[in-house]
A and B are shown apart, each in its own frame.
Chain A
Amino acid sequence: MLAIILAQEESSGGSALIDVVPGLMIWTIVTFAIVFFILRKLAFGRIQGLIDERRDRIREALDEADKARAEARQLRELTKQERDEAIADRDRALEEARRQGQEQLRRSREQADSDLERRLEENQRAIEAENRRLREDIRRDVVELTLLASEKVTRKSLDAEDQKRLIDETIEEMDVKRIASDN
């Protein structure tokens, strides 16, 4: 094929295929210059502006998403912190209630012990008083019986001094006997 072309080149005596035509070069440069200026002015600038605008919007959206994510994280941490604080408050309140309960229990026990002690002492005192009263009654009865017996034995009335002496002796004997029986 190349032979055909070369042969034709030779036969025509020219070299149209490799001719450099200045006029065509000028037209090419002029046309390209027009294409370049029009595309730069009307096409590239517009689409570049739009791409930049979209890029800015995407960047803003990403920034906003990051910010929202950070806020959500912050909120989550805050919530967690508040929950922890609430749990701590609850634990503190429970501990306080438990402590107060124990304190109350302790005080109640002490109060009960104290009351019991007091009542025991009162009972003891009452018993002792009753004992004393009974002893006194017994002694009086014994004295009266003694006097009565003595009068019947002696067939005479005892005067005041005899009665006193007899009572003292009787009491002394009774005391001695009581002490002996206690021991």
Chain B
Amino acid sequence: MSPLVLAATEDFSPEHEFELPAWIPLELGPIDLSVNKAVAYVWLSGLITILLGIWLMRFGLALRPSRRQTTGESIYEALQAQIAEGNLPKKSVGRWFPYVASLFLFIWVMNMVGFIPLPLSDETFNLFGLDLPTWGVYAATANLSVTLALALITFVATHVEGVRFNGLVGYLKSWIPAGAPKALLALIVPLEVISQFMRLISLSVRLYANMLAGHMLFLVMIGLIFIFGNVFLAIVSVPVATAVYIFEVGIVVSIQAFVFALLSAIYIGGAIEPEH
């Protein structure tokens, strides 16, 4: 093992930020429903999403909009135009737009909260005899379970809507490309079935991996100072970490939320109208 790795294993562990020890142990039969840091971030993000949505899109609305209302309307109409109307069939926009819009806002808030230092850490520090939680950054979307759960909702919604609109047989038939030779069906059908499940994986892993990579990069850049115990490394690592932070907050956070919601709309729309 290299000196770098040895140093890292002894003094600094970026992945510790992603460990989830139970804060409140809770088990429901075989399922561990313990409340931990990720659950707390999911709850916090959910609460912020609700408050943000209501603040921007409910209170003090008028026909002549204020700046706040204009922001809310712009977000709403952008989601409607960019995600829903272009990818969902007209007949199902009203039904599924709230879903994809909620998905976008929820993921965007989770991503954004992930870059705000909060005192929601397993570690503590002592200040005047008081053990206080360490401030740190953590993204719930950098956890595969969270993104997989959201992808699973889209996955189930896609197939339920596909069957509801086309019938089971019609929907399954729609998986087979038009004009595919019968001889190749034995090969094509398993591939199509696999591709449906691959959507679940790609949808979840894309968001998870992007957010995880951003956080890892940011944490490691800051961690280099502690790994090498050299404060002068901050001259390089802090600007790089800042650049990564700005890049993540400014671009990746929104793009990943948008892509997740957009793909959800495309999958659901494609299932409702396979020829769409």
Contact = CB atoms under 8 A, between A and B. Distances in A.
A53 B64 CA distance: 12
Interface stretch (A36-44, A74-82, A132-140): A36-44
Contacts of B153: 29, 32
Interface in A53-85: 53-54, 57
Given A4-B8, A28-B42, A47-B76, A20 B144 contact: yes
A4 B98 contact: no
Contacts of A53: 63
A47 B42 contact: no
Contacts of B144: 17-20
A1 B1 CA distance: 14
A21 interface: yes
Interface in B42-100: 42-43, 45-46, 49-50, 53-54, 56-58, 61, 63, 72-73, 76-77, 97-99
Q: Which of B15, B26, B38, B72 has the most CB of A within 10 A?
A: B15
Interface string B5-38: 1001100011100111000001000011111101
A168 B105 CA distance: 152
Interface residues of B, number: 61
A32 B4 contact: no
Given A31-B43, A32-B102, A36-B99, A46 B149 contact: no
A23 interface: yes
A1 B216 contact: yes
B65 to A, nearest CB: 8
B102 A40 contact: yes
Contact of A46 (B58, B106, B146, B216): B58
Contacts, number: 159
Interface string A3-20: 111011101100011111
Interface size class for chain A? 35 or more
Contact of A35 (B8, B31, B50, B97): B50
21 contacts: A4-B5, A5-B220, A7-B5, A8-B15, A22-B145, A24-B39, A24-B149, A26-B31, A27-B33, A27-B43, A28-B150, A31-B43, A31-B46, A34-B50, A39-B105, A40-B98, A40-B102, A44-B97, A47-B61, A47-B76, A51-B76
Interface of A: 1, 3-5, 7-9, 11-12, 16-29, 31-32, 34-36, 38-40, 42-44, 46-48, 50-51, 53-54, 57
